[in-house]
Chains A and B, each alone.
Chain A
Amino acid sequence: MEVLKLENLKKYYGINTNITKAVDGISFNIDEGEFVAIMGASGSGKTTLLNCISTIDVPTSGFITIGGIEITKIKEDELADFRKDNLGFIFQDFNLLDTMTIEENIALSLIVNKEDIKDIDKKVESIAARLGISDILKKFPYEVSGGQKQRCACARALINNPKIILADEPTGALDSKSSRVLLETMKEMNKELKATILMVTHDSLSASFCERVLFLKDGKIFNEIVKGEKTRKEFFDEIIDVLTLLGGDVGNVR
């Protein structure tokens, strides 16, 4: 069953003759339980695409359907509710709130939406246990490491059982060891908790943890590869090959 469906999505910036086609007619589907990466060089339109899907940005034309709901038609006022029920977010710079403990950060959207306190506690504890952050729940974000922060962000994204988790360069601010741990965690979220994840990255190692990788160039889909039965190493090499084809401007090829 498809969770996310994009049809001829376009996002243009600028006026008159000076138009930037950040996203230029992209169509693809993501099915339930998939773990998909979008790769591309800086300026290829990754973040714009993700922003459109996140309902942060409004596309110029085209359709985005999440869980059968056409999101471009939702009123601004109802978007918050839509995000709460359907979307989870993981950012490069964590975006945790300094004034709240890890626990409160995870539970924030539930608390504000006045769910039952016992339920909240149970949910937070079970997710924290799964992600291995049970012992830091009472700490504040500035008291824990980057990797722990990002796992907290994962927990926050998972807490309300979203239809899809949108991750924007989740390993961007982490060292390689923490990155790996995080990616393993995300993989586990995908496998065990059946979370559907769409991740934007320009790191091929991160992408190699996914099942499918879409490559963007100049706002269009340039290529798409599927892991299938390949090992992660083989998949990684394949990603590198496509990146080489994409052009020399991908600086982060390892």
Chain B
Amino acid sequence: MLGKLAVRNVKRSARDYAIYLITIIISFSLIFALNLISTSEEVMKLSQGLYTFQYIMYGINAIVLGVICFLINYTTKFIFEKRSKEFGIYSLLGIKKRKINKMFLLESLLLGFVALLVSMPIGFAISQFLSIFIVKLLELPQAIFINLNIKSFVLLFIYFALIYLLVLWRANRRMKKSSINDLLTLEKQNEKKITKSKKHRNIIFLLSVALGIIALFLWNMKLKPQVFQDSSIMNIILICFVLLIISIYGVMISVGDFILSVVLKNKKIKYSKDNLFIARTFSAKAKTLGFVFGTLSMLITLAILFLNISSLNKGLYDYQIDANSPFDIAVTDRKEHLKDYLDIIKEDYTLKNDFIYDIYKDKTATILKSTPISDYESDERLFDPVIRLSDYNRLLELRGQEKISLNQQECVVLSEIRFKNDMNNIMPDKIMLSNGTELKLKDFTTNGYWARISNEYYNIVVPDSAVSGLEIDTSHLVVNTKEKTKTELKEKMKTRLKEYMTYIDENGEEDDTYYNVVVKGELIEETNTMTMIISTICIYMAFIFIASVGTIIAIQSLSDSNKYKYRYKVLSNLGVRDENIFKTIRKQLLILFGIPVVYPIILNLCLIIPINNIYKIMLDSNTIYLSYFIGTLVEFLVIYAIYYIATYFSFKRNIKEV
């Protein structure tokens, strides 16, 4: 009987909680799909980077599970409160609380189980779509079919069990704690206000806003392009985040009263249109739901942040490729070895052009000695890398960039973008090479620099004659090919030229110098993989967060539409026409959906500007982040709007029902 009752109750609540059900189904589906992908051997074989994906997914899933747990726990609690009277009646009729509890837990579990079962085929379908996406991104010849594997089923069940253990444990405690009297009257009780006095709440609001401003100020102060060398930065970021979390919760707890005090003070606003009705309805919610609203705002903040990171990361794509491998193949090794590499390349590829150059050591090490970030291991490495002007110009030419010119007493220093500001501070006017040549610093620039030019983060370009007498450090080979390079080329070099690329270190262990060969195809694949992993993870988390927020607001509003049907009846009896009532509902829902969003959007914009200051040099333009930001907002709002619209129509249906 208990089972039968539970099934019937689930059926009945299915409509009320359709939005909730759909959300957890989609959430489970996504978890399952990503499980399938991250445990699929076929996919893992595609790229080395995908193994990282597998491990990252465990961590990400922990966060996602937390959020889903919050959602399910919240909804379960909500259903419990709504049905407490029913439980009270059971208890009154002589059914033991233990049995009632069992039934409710069974019901919640059943609802979850239905979602779990439905989510499996959907998740399977999603994983196939994702595989198409992966195949396209990695430019693979044929599609991969994602097989169902036991591991992902087991994982899904473990996640499910974890969530429901926690949720049911909480529900069990809730039931045990409430007496029959509580059960019978819970529905009628007012929810507790978080703060008592009105004055306090306005102070909390102002304080929280102030905290937010302080946090953003700190963020802005600290997040400068030098950030990469600042070891205290992690602490500062942590402090900022803690302040922001406090600020978000504070604002959301007090904003209802703040708005109300503004609206009610001004008679003109108060009595214009349906403002009074909406303000009262909203503040009643905000007062009691402040904490939940805080959590919702947190989730929205994170969701938008993740989406932003995803687009920013995509924006860095070109930079990453160009900064690490402007040529199809680049090899660093002893000069006499380079020909062997070239031979191997020729076996599979048609050369477009190739070029060999040397990097010289300037043992005066003027620059290295004055940099705060110098980390040379031994005296042997104490030198500034030097390249001849003609070599450098040839490299520029191969990259399709304009050549530079120097007179005999001039030099140019190149550096990696990340170190530009630091280097700028210590840059001497004159450089004295160890062979006695004195050169005037003509320019300090990041143009033309790439990571493999000398394997150092900066480089001095000198007139050809100035290198006489300097020792050669390394020789470099750069090649452009007609065909697109592939990862296999590197593998081939690794096996064929093993003796060049491995060495025995002082501890007698074998080490490799595979990093001395850069193949563009491999880099593109890695970058693609990383971009894909980051985007997938960011979008996945953002989606789950947004969906959870949308669901909680939807459940809240819809239960109100049932509970306070009479409010709209009163409006209707007072002579307000149906379409005006609907308009009021739309406005009311808009405020309910909108309030948790406003602060996160402002925060995110403020957070993203300093981040852009760091990355703008690597992006296509200084303001492109704004278009990313807007794009992100659109993505966010589209998903959010679906929840808004679904809620509105259900709301309308509910109040129209007699």
Contacts and interface: CB of A to CB of B under 8 A. Distances in A.
A109 to B, nearest CB: 4
A232 interface: no
Interface string A83-113: 1110101000001011110000000110111
B94 A85 contact: yes
Given A51-B181, A56-B181, A57-B181, A83 B92 contact: yes
Among A55, A95, A98, A112, the most chain B Cβ lie within 10 Å of the Cβ of A112
A156 interface: yes
A81 B94 contact: yes
Contacts of B337: none
A85 B95 CA distance: 11
A84 B91 CA distance: 9
Given A56-B181, A80-B94, A99-B8, A112 B89 contact: no
A201 interface: no
Interface residues of A, number: 28
A99 B9 contact: yes
B341 to A, nearest CB: 77
Contacts of A79: 180
Contact of A95 (B89, B99, B179): B89
A82 B91 CA distance: 11
A116 interface: no
B8 A89 contact: no
Nearest to A84: B94
Contact of B97 (A57, A80, A97): A80
A150 interface: no
B443 interface: no
A79 B95 CA distance: 10
A180 to B, nearest CB: 26
B311 to A, nearest CB: 48
Interface residues of B, number: 22
B96 A109 contact: no
B404 interface: no
Contacts of A95: 85, 89, 92
Interface string B432-474: 0000000000000000000000000000000000000000000
A77 interface: yes
B180 A112 contact: no
Contacts of B5: 99-100
B98 to A, nearest CB: 8
Interface in B83-108: 85-86, 89-97, 99
Nearest to B13: A99
Given A56-B180, A56-B181, A57-B181, A97 B92 contact: no
A128 B228 CA distance: 82
A112 B92 contact: no
B273 interface: no
B1 interface: yes
Interface string A184-209: 00000000000000000000000000
A109 B12 contact: no
B95 A112 contact: yes
B2 interface: yes
Interface in A45-59: 51, 54-57
A-B complex: 3 closest residue pairs judged by Cβ atoms: A84-B94, A109-B93, A80-B96
Interface of A: 51, 54-57, 76-77, 79-85, 87, 89, 95, 97-100, 108-109, 111-113, 156, 160
6 contacts: A83-B92, A83-B93, A85-B94, A89-B93, A108-B95, A112-B99
